[in-house]
Every structure is written in C-alpha cells, then in structure tokens.
Amino acid sequence: DAGVIQSPRHEVTEMGQEVTLRCKPISGHDYLFWYRQTMMRGLELLIYFNNNVPIDDSGMPEDRFSAKMPNASFSTLKIQPSEPRDSAVYFCASSFVSDEQYFGPGTRLTVT
C-alpha cells in the first residue's frame, strides 16, 4: 500500500485566496482525520470522519474552514478565504476501527 497520500506537498498563496488540500487514505480504513501543526500550538485535531461522515468538527478554527469526504478514498480540506495565520503544516491520517493512525507526509501551507 502507498500509505496516506496528500497533495499538494507545498502550497503558497496570497491572503484572501481559496486553498484546497487533498487526502487519499489507506484503502480499507474507515476513519480519516485532519490535523494542523504549528510551532505555537503543536498538533491539533481539526475534524474527523467515520465511513465518510463528519463526526466531530469542533477543532475547525473558523467558518472559513470546511472539509468533505465524498467517498472512502478521497477527502478535502478547504480554506476560504485564507489568512496568514492559517500558515501551518496540515496532516491527514487514517485508521481502521479507530486503531493505529497512519499519517500522510503533510501539506505545508504558506499564506502571504
């Protein structure tokens, strides 16, 4: 298995632009998680899905953030409009039956 795949690996955008981050979980995994990592706050859970259904989005910082999982093999995290304080590394992770989580390589987002 190729593991969790994220794209793009790096994204540089200007304030106010829409940003879409993509994730392909490991085949057969039923949980998908989105995390954000910053120097100030460390790793934080943003939202997670179970069988493609969003279960808890209490970690999503603002309404500018949204996430979808249209099928078992694809998820997106969208920021609209983006702001400089959104600059961070965004990780996607997946697991089977809430067991060990496997992380993707992350997307480094820079908003100028």
Give me the residues that bind another protein (CB under 8 A), please: 31, 33, 42-45, 48, 50, 55-56, 91, 93, 95, 98-106, 108
The residue behind tokens 């590394």 is 89
In the complex, minimum distance from the CB of residue 65 to another protein, in angstroms, rounded to a whole number? 17
User: What's the full length of the chain, in residues?
Assistant: 112
Q: Which is nearer to another protein, 10 or 16 (CB)?
A: 10
- Least distance from another protein to the Cβ atom of residue 12, Å: 15
Which of 64, 108 has the CB closer to another protein? 108
| CA–CA gap between residue 15 and residue 96 (Å, rounded) | 37
> CA-CA distance, 19 to 28, in Å (whole number)?
28
- Nearer of residues 18 and 44 to another protein, judged by Cβ: 44
Q: CB-wise, 31 or 65, nearer to another protein?
A: 31
**3-state secondary structure (DSSP) of residue 85:** helix
User: Residue 86: phi, psi to the nearest 5?
Assistant: -80, -5
Report the DSSP beta bridge partners of residue 31.
50, 95
Q: Least separation, in Å, of the C-beta of 81 and another protein?
A: 27
